Chain A
């Protein structure tokens, strides 16, 4: 049985096709990445399979059940972490979490305190007084209280500081070890690389590739910025470099290819400073999925 199976799903808003013939298959127990730039249809797909949006055509099943028809039963098995968290302002975090948990048959209320401590969330504060990051923590706890079989995470780390991001990843890995399937949507490629085995790439509403993360890594471009102590005579850059820009002793370029080649080349230079940056997803797509 597959965890998620989406077949030729379409969602149109008048003439605008938010998602076009999307098909994906997520196996049980895997952490499946879902990458795409902002506005590419990631959230639309997630919201469609959760029943928030009424799809134009196509089918979606979750753990063997029709997600579009039997939404209520299907959602019993799902933990959902939205990208933007909106909760009832007048409630405290504890009230919100208890209210949320009471909707499920097998929610474990005793987990609230330990998880709140783990994420350093003050349960007595009103939602309206919580920062974006703290609302997110509340949402994370909310998504795992009922031991879901499938976790759907939409931009889960936005608003979390690096320490909390790491704790969050640890929690997700732990849940995954217990058998929970994770559907991880993000526009940050390094997160996907860290967490996932496979990833679907969505662009302008269509799946443009389903890749092994290893392949995605090799395709990944790095932005390189170096400051030379002595500018080399030979200005040829390693194979795989593009868009080079010289500015006196400063050089910036983009590099695609095995990282060893780049390191080799860098080690031969007389440098003051070198920076390798992961480009944003949009520029990666500009490079690889243009056609």
Chain B
């Protein structure tokens, strides 16, 4: 790894990291702070939930229990919004971390330095995953503190840990996918649209697959299928699913390296 390059990438992305961290912190605080008010309305909401078609409830990951504990409430938001927000940040950073040099013409500068392409890819990926872990840690710590603060009954932290571990793996998967996309899409493009489409798209593919048995297969395209984010303490951590996602992510990064090694850097 080239330390000089690694540190420069961290520095270059620090402003973006701060903005996205602020968004994620704000959202986490908001979700947990709402809970006490929602819990007060508990009975009414149970009635409301009964009137929602079961398929829709399944697709959105909500049921009557959702409002009974803070973790249930939090898990609904975590599995949709928070994971997607963090993934959009990490995947879009991944999509630009190598391609930005090409877009701005600076890859000529970088690639005429005494570093191999492999070292460049590796150092950049290391910064990328450092940034991803930082934002994940910031969000997790915020959630820990605020769930603790707003909980109305005792919290099952084992479930919380499992939930976040699954979240982390999905985030890492999207991060790797972001880097891979940038290898095949022309660098002049704005990757944000692609990244938002990929994260939301796969989330809904999983939701559709879960709600209708006829199209269950469709959910297997989605990383969410392999790691269920749930408040249910009887569901144990899906090691196989986690392994599948990590292996695919590793494969994508290997492919990134292969493509980059052979690339012509245009002037």
Contacts and interface: CB of A to CB of B under 8 A. Distances in A.
Interface of A: 43, 47, 50-54, 71-76, 78, 80, 82-84, 86-90, 99-100, 102-104
Nearest to B267: A43
The 4 closest A-B pairs by CB, nearest first: A86-B105, A76-B114, A103-B113, A52-B265
Contacts of B212: none
Contacts of A84: 105, 267
B115 interface: yes
Interface in B106-126: 106, 108-109, 111-116, 119
A57 to B, nearest CB: 15
Interface of B: 2, 4-5, 8, 12, 104-106, 108-109, 111-116, 119, 262-265, 267
B2 A52 contact: no
B8 to A, nearest CB: 6
Contacts of B106: 86-88
Contacts, number: 64
A72 B116 contact: yes
A102 B112 contact: no
A47 B114 contact: no
A100 B109 contact: yes
Nearest to B2: A103
B116 A71 contact: yes
Contact of B114 (A52, A99, A103): A103
Contacts of A76: 114
B4 A75 contact: no
B264 A52 contact: yes
Nearest to B105: A86
Contacts of B104: 86, 88-89
B108 A86 contact: yes
Given A47-B267, A54-B262, A54-B264, A86 B12 contact: no
B119 A72 contact: yes
Contacts of A90: 12
Contact of A80 (B105, B112, B116, B262): B112
